[in-house]
Structure 1
Amino acid sequence: MNDVDAQIRRQSLALSASELHGSLCGWLAGGSTLKPDWLSRLLLDDSLPAPDPGSPFDRLARGTAAQIGDRDFAFELLLPESDASLAERSGALFDWCRGFVGAFGLAAGAQPPLSEEGQEALADLARLAAAQAQDEGDDSDEEALVEIEEFVRVAALLLHGDCALAARDRQRLN
């Protein structure tokens, strides 16, 4: 995460590593594919250069595409470590959701082919994207955050299945 944050600062981008990862995941889940210009297309900024091979952004993109498409569910969210404060971790999770929802809409369009579960998952992610981090919490808040992180992870995989994987499967059948 630190190398992605450093790359974000070097390029003066106005988002966090978690939000960038969420955006990339939403982009892929919505059916877009990785191309050399993925960053400029994702952030809607034609002035952004394509990530250099081996750069933090390149590694993030390749790793994310491999994880989200992994049938063994190895997909993980890019969030602060568990020793970070509750406020930092919950804020990063909400940033991740904001990035995901925005990029998913960009990639999937206004009427994505979602299952009923996918529609509910997307609505829940949108609610999380609108949430604000709390400054303090107790053990029950910590447990709730872990459960929410797992929900978000599974929701992203469900939406990827509904839009990206289902579209690829339909193309193979035709």
Structure 2
Amino acid sequence: MSESELPTVAEIDAESVRLGLATSPYELHGALCGWLAGGGRDERGWLAPVFADRDLAAPAEGSPLDRLREITAAQLSDRSFEFELLLPESDAPLVERSGALFDWCRGFVGAFGLAAGQASTLSDESREALADLAKLAAAQPQEDGDEEDEEALVEIEEFVRVAALLLHGDCVLAREHRQRLN
């Protein structure tokens, strides 16, 4: 595994089970992304504030969840837009992929709200993107689908990826830029 490649779903799932987290790897990654995009602190102890449970221990240094945080934070801040969502492989069934995407959005929206709070100064475009992510978070996967549904899911995945980058830009990168100017 390269240093910029996210840990596997199996690695994340195994550590989540070991830590007693009752969430899917997809929702967990979405929550981490939402936390970071909303301005939450990039620190090894991210689980406690993301899950609003101060008793949650920090992932061990170098563990899959620690690597997930490091790589995700680097991807979000990288200007080359290499940010990727942790989702099932493209050959997985449509119901599994869409369910994972909706889980990812659920995690993102919840943790984004915790990190950004009410005082968030979002652009109109970011507010609209967040509202769309909230709609996806409430969606349910369908058992069957056709080629058109497959294409739509790919487009929705790209929208979600860009929306996360947009929100991170509004809440984190813009703030960092303003601080550098002052």
- In structure 1, the partner of 2:84 is 76
**TM-score, structure 1 normalization:** 0.97
Alignment: residue pair count = 174
Q: Is there any run of 5+ residues in structure 1 with no aligned partner, and where?
A: none
Aligned to 2:40, the other structure's residue is in SS state coil
- In structure 1, the partner of 2:171 is 163
- In structure 1, the partner of 2:24 is 16
Work out the CA distance in 2 between the residues paired with 1:158 and 1:173: 21
Q: Does 1:142 align with 2:175?
A: no
Query: CA-atom RMSD, angstroms?
Result: 0.8
- In structure 2, the partner of 1:94 is 102
Cα deviation for residue 153 of structure 1 reads 0.2
Kindly provide the amino acid, as one letter, of the partner of residue 89 in structure 1: R
Work out the CA distance in 1 between the residues paired with 2:73 and 2:35: 10
Q: Retained in 1: the 8 A contact 2:44–2:61? A: no
Q: Does 1:65 align with 2:73?
A: yes
Cα deviation for residue 33 of structure 1 reads 2.0
1:59-108: CA deviation from partner (whole Å, max 9, x where unpaired): 10000000111100000000011121111100000000000001111000
Aligned to 1:73, the other structure's residue is in SS state coil
Aligned to 1:146, the other structure's residue is in SS state helix
Q: 4+ residue stretches of structure 1 with deviation over 6 A?
A: none
Moved more, 53-62 or 8-17: 8-17
**TM-score, structure 2 normalization:** 0.93
Work out the CA distance in 2 between the residues paired with 1:165 and 1:142: 33
Kindly provide the amino acid, as one letter, of the partner of residue 141 in structure 1: D
Work out the CA distance in 1 between the residues paired with 2:45 and 2:15: 16
Q: Taking every aligned residue pair, what percent have the same amino acid on both sides?
A: 68
Work out the CA distance in 2 between the residues paired with 1:46 and 1:108: 18
Work out the CA distance in 1 between the residues paired with 2:43 and 2:164: 21
Q: Is there any run of 5+ residues in structure 2 with no aligned partner, and where?
A: 1-8
Aligned to 1:31, the other structure's residue is in SS state coil
- In structure 2, the partner of 1:119 is 127
Work out the CA distance in 2 between the residues paired with 1:36 and 1:2: 20
Aligned to 2:140, the other structure's residue is in SS state coil
